[in-house]
Chains A and B, each alone.
Chain A
Amino acid sequence: MPILSEDKPQRRVKGTSLDDTDRRIVEVLTRDGRAQSTTIGEELGLSGNLVSNRIRAMDAAGLMRVVAVADHRIHGYRLVARIRLQVSGRAPIEIAEQLAQRDEVLSVHITSGRYPVSCLYAFRNAREMLEAVRQATADIQGVEDVDVELINNVYRYVPTVGPLGT
C-alpha cells in the first residue's frame, strides 16, 4: 500500500534486489520512460521526492536505468541477421571475441546447442551481409558452418535487460 514518506537514496550493495516500491516505479516507467517523478508519485500514492530518490538510487546502484533503444534503421542499417557459427578445433570464445570487435556486430553470445557462437549482425545493404557471411566461412579459422537468419518481421520487442556497466 502507498507509503507517504521521504527516503534518501540508499547505498545498495550489488546483488541487492528491488523492493516492491521500486518494482511499481519501474512498471510505470515501462509505460512511459520519461514520466515525471511527480506524475509517477500521483499514480502510486507516493511523493515525487521519494520517486525521484528511488530512481536515482536504482541508477546509482546499477540496478535499473531508463535507456533509449534505437531501431537499427536510425543508425543507417537496413538489415539485421542472426548469424550462428558452428565451430571446431578452436575455442568458440576466441571467435566470439573476434566478432565482438566489429561495430556492426550488435551482440555476441556463447550458447548451448549446435551453434556455440550466436550473434546479431547489422548491415547497411545486402552486399555487406554476403561479404560478412563469406568472410565468416572463409577467413575465420575454426568456423565449420554458418547459419544466417535474416530478420524479416518483428512482432514483439520488449527490452528488459541490458549492460548498465556501473
Chain B
Amino acid sequence: MALLTVQDLTLGYEGRTLVSHLNFSLEEGDYLCIVGENGSGKSTLMRTILGLQPPVSGQVLFREGLKSSHVGYLPQQTPIQRDFPASVEEIVRSGFQGRCGLRPFYDREEKAMARENMERMGVLDLRDRCYRELSGGQQQRVLLARALCAARKVLLLDEPVSGLDPKATGEMYDLLEGLNREGLALIMISHDIGAALTYASHILHLGQQVFFGTREAYQNSAVGRRFVEREGDSL
C-alpha cells in the first residue's frame, strides 16, 4: 500500500472551493513537488494532509501504522519566531514533543537523536546559539533538523527556500536530496519550478487544470509545458 493516499479530496474554505476531487498517492522514497499559482490551494492541501484543517470532502489515508506524529513538517516561519529567545538545541529537541505524549521530559535516546539530526544538518556547532541571531539558511536547517526528529517516513515542506540567498538555497536542495536518497519521502510546495523539475520524482500541479504524475510526464504534458514557459518568462 502507498505511504499516503489522497482520495477524492475537495478543499476550500468559506464556501469557496479551491481543489475538487483530487486523487494521488505517495510511495516510499518519492519526491513530490506541489506547484501552481498563488491561491490554488497548495498550502491548504498541505495543512489538510497534516490534519490541521478538515477537508470539505474526501480523505487522506496514511499507510497502516503511520500516524500524523510520524510526519515531519517544515512550516514557513512565523513572526513570533523572529523574536523568540531559544537555543538551537531547544528547538531541535522540541521535534520529539509529538511522541512524548504526557511524558514531561526528553529521554536519553531522544537527546542523542536530536544531536545526530543537528549533525546531519550541519548545525551541531550552533547548538547553544540563539535561534534569532542565525542567518536565514541556518534557521531553515535548524527547523529541518527539528522536522527530522518528528519524521519517520514522510517530510512535508512549505516553500523551504523562500527568502534564502542562492547559496543557502543550493545547500538546502542538496540536503533535501540527500534525505530523499536515504529513503525519506518528501512533499514540497515550491515556487521554484526549475528546482522542482530538477529534483522531484513526481509533480502535482494545482490550478485550473490539475495534473499528477512523474516529472517526465509533466514536462511532456500541455499543462506542464505552459506553466514552465510562463514561469520561465517571469524569472
Q: Do A and B come from one complex?
A: no
- Where the two chains meet, the residues of B that have a C-beta atom closer than 8 Å to any C-beta of A are none
